[in-house]
Amino acid sequence: MLFDNSLYLSFTAGCPLNQRPPATAIRPSACPGLLRIVPALDGGICRIKLAGGVIGSAQAQAVARAAARYAGGVIEATNRANLQIRGIGEQQAALIDELLDAGLGPTTPAGDDVRNLMLSPSAGIDRQLLIDTRPLAEQILATLQTHPRFHELSAKFAVQLDGGEALAMLEHPHDLWLSALLLDDQPYLAFGLAGCPANDLPLAAVPLSAGHGLVVAVLELFLDLARPEQTRMRHLLAEISPAEFLAQLTRRLGFEPVLVSSWHRSAVPEFLHIGTYPQRQPGRVYMGAVAPLGRLDAAMLDGVARLASEFGDASLRLTPWQSLLLPNIRAEDAAAVTTQLQHLGLLCDAADVLAQLIACTGSAGCAKGLADTKADARTLALHLQDQPQGVHLSGCTRSCAAAHVAPATLLAVAPGHYDLYFRDAAHPGFGRLHARHLTIDAAGALLAARSRSNTDD
């Protein structure tokens, strides 16, 4: 069951009747949102989309309270730098009211689904950034929510804005991605369609000042050209070449984008989302900590929020690695904050094997899951204690927990049994199939032996 009517009434309770948007503004969808709770085996799911992945400490505490009061207390960090609450019972309207009162809702009901803009978690504070993307992101998010035509976009249609930071997720595919570069010492935005900066060359580039106009033009052109069943950019590009799309886009922009086909976004170091790193602001550091297997409880989130208020700027940043950052910590406080984060149950060291494992909800909470991936991931961790490595456990082929291809993927085929894949650019999907129908213990032994031998690249 979808709860559109009650959520609509909750959202508009304080609005005069003649100012309320039509109830159809909250559309049916299988994707959870803040105003639309969708059912799962373990209860309802509410997804809270965060502007730029940022949430204030008071807002985080409101999420923790709502999860404890009206749900099972399970809070998930998502791979799009958002939060979601699981296990919601009958008091879904009260939960939504608390989140709206905390300022976590969209500006319009129909704008909730389309707030899909991902920034680098260290936007504005990264020592290697080329531009501060936050002002442009604010413009884009406002337009996505207030431009009625953009409410036609799929709830999965997504945009990425990368400012050249060292801490950046470059492997998640997006319908439109933008990445900062300098041309003659002037800031530009390279952009590409239906891909990601790590794997794809840009279509072209525009001056930073034209970035907002570019996003609007791309989205409007997509909606003009796509048929109703073509909900993602990749669907449209299966019929229209990128060159033709660029030609039509150029006419809309009124100027020629710069061709930068030889430019490629520089690779970034791994694991900068875990640990303590200096910011561009003197004397300040950001601190990254991983929620084991992407899950927090109410006490954990409340505790981290309190640390952010006491030692930082009273904000948290979620990351695409299902982790969080505390920005603007004084360097001399870092050791004390690390100790307290660990006491709360967060992982602050990339050498911790659980910090490198990804697991979806699995059969314990999802009807499509073929195995209890969360429990199996903890069993797998026991085998990999001395050889931490990136492994993704997926309960089905949808790969909900990882938008990128992990170095190794265990795809569930039955309870406690998995097919093992290794990432390989020559093989689409999860990569190269290595073994079938492994028990989780057998998979752990194989992965540990492979890591020790280091002969299979």
Q: What is the pLDDT of residues 353-412, one digit of tens each?
A: 999 999 999 999 999 999 999 999 999 999 999 888 999 999 999 999 999 999 999 999
**Helix, strand or coil for residue 420?**
strand
The reported pLDDT for the residue numbered 27 is 62
Q: Whole-angstrom Cα distance, residue 274 to residue 347?
A: 8
pLDDT of residue 441 exceeding 70: yes
Average pLDDT, the chain: 92
Q: What is the pLDDT of residues 188-209, one digit of tens each?
A: 999 999 999 999 999 999 999 9
Tell how far CA 232 is from the center of its chain: 17
Domains of the chain, earliest start first: 130-163+171-253 (3.30.413.10), 355-453 (3.30.413.10)
- What's the whole-number mean pLDDT along residues 221-230? 97
- What's the whole-number mean pLDDT along residues 224-233? 97
Helix axes 4-11, 92-101, angle to 10 degrees: 30
Q: Whole-angstrom Cα distance, residue 360 to residue 375?
A: 11
Residue 352 half-sphere exposure toward CB, CA atoms < 13 A: 17
Q: Strand 159-162 and strand 117-119: pairing?
A: parallel
pLDDT band at 454 (very low <50, low <70, confident <90, very high): low
Judge whether 341 and 307 are in contact, CB under 8 Å.
yes
Task: Please name the residue ranges forming H helices in 351-425.
Answer: 373-383
Q: Strand 275-278 and strand 43-48: pairing?
A: unpaired
Tokens of 289: 């900590």
Q: Which of 326, 327, 350 is nearest to 340 (CA)?
A: 326
The reported pLDDT for the residue numbered 457 is 43
Angle value at C-alpha 185, between 184 and 189, nearest 5 degrees:
90
Q: What is the pLDDT of residues 238-249, one digit of tens each?
A: 999 999 999 999
Lowest mean pLDDT among 7-21, 111-125, 134-148: 7-21
pLDDT band at 22 (very low <50, low <70, confident <90, very high): very low
Judge whether 11 and 74 are in contact, CB under 8 Å.
no
Judge whether 123 and 54 are in contact, CB under 8 Å.
no
Q: Whole-angstrom Cα distance, residue 436 to residue 217?
A: 46
Q: What is the pLDDT of residues 61-80, one digit of tens each?
A: 999 999 999 999 999 999 99
Most confident range, picked from 21-25, 267-271, 406-410 = 406-410
Bridge partners (DSSP) of residue 117 are 159
- DSSP labels for 307-324? HHHHHSSSEEEE-TTSEE
258 secondary structure, DSSP code: B
Bridge partners (DSSP) of residue 237 are none
Bridge partners (DSSP) of residue 439 are 417
% of the chain with per-residue pLDDT over 70: 93
The reported pLDDT for the residue numbered 128 is 97
pLDDT band at 452 (very low <50, low <70, confident <90, very high): confident
Position 428: which residue type? Answer: P
